[in-house]
Amino acid sequence: MLLKAETLKHIYQGQQAKKDPRAKGTFSEMQSLYLTLFDLGYREMPDKMYMEWLQSVVKERDKYSNKMFVK
């Protein structure tokens, strides 16, 4: 869904530059997808927070592994 919204954003920017009358519809669809993502709880994670999370996954590998699949 995020990929589709980002793709529509790129298309919209191109349409807007060319003054394409379809730009309004593209914008509406893009905006709808972004609002749906927001309603579903999606938030962009800051780079620093993401790196801290990745480090915690490496340090606490056992916490994030599924014991049923580990032999």
Note down pLDDT in tens along the chain; length 71 residues: 999 999 999 999 999 999 999 999 999 999 999 999 999 999 999 999 999 989 998 888 777 676 666 55
CA distances to 13, 14, 27, 48, 64 from 20, rounded to whole Å, are: 10, 8, 12, 39, 49
Residue 68 confidence (pLDDT): 66
pTM: predicted TM-score of the whole model, two decimal places: 0.67
Residue 36 confidence (pLDDT): 98
